[in-house]
Amino acid sequence: MLTKRIIPCLDIKNGRTVKGINFLDLRDAGDPVELAKFYSENGADGLVFLDISATEERRKTLADLVLKVAETINIPFTVGGGISSIEDVEILLNNGADKVSINSSAVKNPQLINELASRFGSQCIVVAIDAKQIDGCWKVHLMGGKVLTDLDLFEWAKEVEQRGAGEILFTSMDHDGTKNGFANEALAKLSTTLNIPIIASGGAGTMQHFTDTFKNGKADAALAASVFHFKEITITDLKNELQIQGIPIRVPREERRGTKGE
């Protein structure tokens, strides 16, 4: 069985890490380079860096900040924000990103998924989908949740997979920042619909929420921000708890000391 992954997310605005509730009321959460280094050294299985203002403000992702983060970590690094071309991806990969995440640009130009997957490989392309329930239906939103589309979450996710995406990052806008748990019913439905990994995002508040999204939501990875940034949950403690709950998880070598004769 593949191990589940724990992924801190750095939402970046004006060069700082920020966090809000339901995509609103952003507050400062620290220096992204320092946070990235801390997570890399303390058991994170990957890192997601999203320049949340890049698309809205028509700016390119801050490549120099990406480079600074990449130089401090040794875990898989996914970068998103303002990516709309092959050239954008090349800049980010050259600055240390392992994968790129596209969102609004994929909806506006679905063929971009095909082009990027063909050029860089599916394993390099993550499509982020922000959605919320409206009249009982999960609808995709753009521009940091500000623009409603007619796209159905599950239909769009399947198209994304067929076009060559290697992974989906699904954020429930209804759950984002609430700390009331992940959108496990929607995640489980995505899991039965798709054959590519799904990262759960939005709603982490307790260690049990992570257990629930792996067991009930069938997520392949769980992403969180504020519970990690503000030290409400440490990744070491979380992984210990997940092991107790029978969730397959990668444990850093130093935490395994004392086993296998070490």
* Active-site residue list: 11, 130
Q: Are 211 and 182 in contact (CB under 8 A)?
A: no
